[in-house]
Amino acid sequence: MDKFDLQRIKNTLNDCPLFQHIDDAKLQTILAFFTLHTLEKGTLLLSPEQPNAYLYLILEGQLSIHLSDVNTPPISFLNSGDYVGEVSFIDHQHPSAYVLASQKSTVVRLHRRNLPQIYDVSPIIHHNLLRILCSRIRSGNNSLLHSEQNAHIDSLTGIPNRRWLEYAFQRERQFCLDRNAPLSMIMLDVDHFKIYNDSHGHLAGDLVLQFAALLLREQLRPHDSMARFGGEEFVVLLPGMTLIEASHVAERLRYCLASLKQLPNTQPVLPSVTISLGVAQLSADDELSDLLNKADKALYEAKQQGRNRVCLYQQK
């Protein structure tokens, strides 16, 4: 590389983690092992289908990262000063994603075979590479944690979903059985929701579900569990509460919506809704499906009796 290229690289990579704590003389020696390349837009740089032996540093332009296919939307972009390929460069495995030039770009690359020589010039490169890899691992772990958390949250209402309910039930069931304490469930349904959607539109229906979820959650204790079960149905777990105590909570939930004439802060003004609720108490040998079935039967009875009311499941 000529002096102009070398100076440009040194300026671009001044803040790059790979070159931290390396003086100019050693940096110039190290950069002699890199080769300069121009990538046309659409050039495929890394692929899970091909092994990779290079570490790439971006001088100009932009690269895009794609997971399952180059034709899928990119999950991220890399710009000047970023690096890519470092994991497969180190572990001799295929890359985990596709990387291509999303615009005309300039990169420098280092072949794996030159690593021992670079370590001889400045052993701190080895330390910097380890820090980069650790950062990638932590980032990956955080992404997994974020994905796992999102998998348990209903995207519309922001409260836990049915999948999370299975976990919450097992936790609360064991907690109550160990302490010989009751556990009750409320299953509730927004009355005439389909008619509301047809009359006011699906966006209005979404607002109703969001508002109901927020308002109902505020009526519960911090350690109570509420989840969107599906559609316009919600489920509440009440640890430590008997059937009668849970029925009082259910009545409070019913009233907080029934007492409203319209949704607050909506334009145009939207009417409020009512809910029907079924309440059931856990028996010692009940699984989640058993308790859900009991609460659902009570909910059905509430609908049969005219809706906007609470019914209890009575063991026959």
Q: DSSP 3-state assignment of 29? A: helix
Please check whether residue 186 is in contact with residue 279, taking contact to mean a CB–CB distance below 8 angstroms.
yes
**Distance (Å, whole) CA 96 – CA 210:** 38
Residue 253's contacts (CB-CB under 8 Å, 6 or more residues apart) are: 186, 188, 216, 219, 236, 275, 277
Please check whether residue 237 is in contact with residue 280, taking contact to mean a CB–CB distance below 8 angstroms.
no
Give the active site residues: 232
Please check whether residue 313 is in contact with residue 298, taking contact to mean a CB–CB distance below 8 angstroms.
yes
Residue 54 CB burial class (10 angstroms; 0-12, 13-18, ≥19): buried
**Distance (Å, whole) CA 125 – CA 144:** 29
**Closest listed residue to residue 89, CA positions, set 10, 14, 34, 144:** 34
- The torsion of the CA quartet 248, 254, 257, 261, rounded to 10 degrees, works out to -110
Strand partners, 190: 275
How many other C-beta atoms can be found within 10 angstroms of the C-beta atom of residue 153?
A: 16
Match 């690359």 to its residue by tokens. Answer: 109
